[in-house]
Amino acid sequence: MHVIRVIYIGVFCAERRLISYIYLYDMIYMKIAIISKFGHCECLFFLCEILQEHKITIYIAPHHTKGEEHSLCKMYSNIEVIKITENLTEEIVPMYDEIIKLSSNDDVLYHRSIISLLHVSSLKDSSNRYISLSPFVEGENVSYMLPVYNPINVRTCYNKSITFVGYFMNRWVDEDLQYFIENSHHTFNFVVWGDGNYDNLTRFPNVAVYYNVQYDHLTEMINNSSYILLRNASYINYDRFTGMISLALSFKKPMIFDKRTKEAYNIPGIVYEKRFSEVIDTLNNEVSQNVYEKLVNSISEFNKDVINKNKRTIRELCKK
């Protein structure tokens, strides 16, 4: 860990006079390792966003990535990526000021001094510090951070398209989702995994289904979408975080989501009580381009606050 003295020189105007000033502050520069053999590479982005002032080495298993590491290296200049196939040993612990593990139940390395991402409250390891990505995941020594980052290219796209990304079962195409798809004046993209057959989706002419999508293709699809659709409330696991929230916020796409999720995260979006069908008229008739752009702007302001809060939280966490 190194302390760097930063000199900031500025000028401001007060009572019609230009006043120059010099501001000194100490910045802590750290060597940080982020490790994962299990997966959850989507969590890399928000960590790299809030740790840009530090040197980051990422240890990841290549078979669990979809090109995320290449995008990270384009976005951030302080990153080195090392591919691993075996678990790490405690020998790397003194090499870094902090080590962050992307999933607490990943056996890539267990050590008390590691900061672990806790995706489900019951999956604590031997760490003494945890990062939760969801207000639903709580506990002792758990610090909450909503994972938001700033992608290189973000486009506002008012084109009447809705995208779902994530684990999805064919049987979840219930009466409500069918009605929503058939009566919405939108096209739908479903980027899915978890089932071997999605014929309940592919039968709709305004639905496209994608499998095994690489990260660059996924981000292009999201950029070309108007909204991100979260699971219907009937199929949500509230005890864990869904990466769709991070993607939607980071690419500034309004989410279509249930009231409980809205209230827990306090995120701007299109909200329903229990059924997708409740928001059909809103989407079809009430969200003009002007209304849509105002919603996108509110997400931008929300993201700035979240990223600044996450930076403060990680600084405090690294002091413990």
Last residue of a domain, one of 145, 175, 192: 145
Domain match, 46 and 168 both: no
Asked if residue 174 and residue 128 are part of one domain, the reply reads: no
pLDDT of 71 higher than 90: no
Is residue 21's pLDDT more than 80? no
Task: Indicate whether 124 and 60 sit together in one domain.
Answer: yes
Residue 20: both structure tokens together = 């120059």
Residue 22 has a pLDDT of 47
| Top-confidence residue, 168 or 152 | 168
Q: Are residues 251 and 177 in the same domain?
A: yes
pLDDT of 20 reads 47
Write the CATH number for 79: 3.40.50
Lowest mean pLDDT among 61-75, 175-189, 225-239, 299-313: 61-75
Give Cβ neighbours of residue 248 (< 8 Å, ≥ 6 apart): 222, 228, 254, 255
Q: Is residue 7 part of a domain?
A: no
The CATH number assigned to the domain holding 185 equals: 3.40.50.2000
Same domain, 178 and 297: yes
Residue 73 binned pLDDT confidence (cut-offs 50, 70, 90): confident
Flag whether pLDDT at 64 surpasses 50. Answer: yes
Structure tokens at 307: 């990223």
Q: Are residues 178 and 287 in the same domain?
A: yes
The string of pLDDT tens digits covering residues 261-305 is: 999 999 999 999 999 999 999 999 999 999 999 999 999 999 999
Asked which of 51-55, 67-71, 112-116, 133-137 is least confident by mean pLDDT, the reply is 67-71
Q: Is 120 within the bounds of a domain?
A: yes
- How many domains, in total, are found in the chain? 2
Angle between helices 215-223 and 243-250 (to 10 degrees): 60
Residues 72 and 197 in one domain: no
Within-domain flag for 189:
yes
Tens digit of each residue's pLDDT (9 = 90 or more) over 191-208: 999 998 999 999 999 999
Distance CA 84, CA 37 (A): 7
pLDDT digits 0-9 by tens, 24-45: 444 568 999 999 988 777 889 9
Residue 71 tokens, joined: 């995008």
Residues 212 and 249 in one domain: yes
Same domain? 182 vs 111: no
Report the percent of the chain where pLDDT is more than 70. Answer: 91
Whole-number Å distance between alpha carbons of 81 and 151: 19
Is the pLDDT at 247 greater than 50, yes or no? yes
Query: Strand pairing of 17-29 and 2-14?
Result: antiparallel
Q: Is residue 82 part of a domain?
A: yes
Computed over every residue of the chain, the mean pLDDT equals: 89
User: Does residue 70 sit in the same domain as residue 136?
Assistant: yes
Q: Which domain holds residue 198?
A: 161-303
Q: Are residues 139 and 255 in the same domain?
A: no
**Do 169 and 298 reside in the same domain of the chain?**
yes
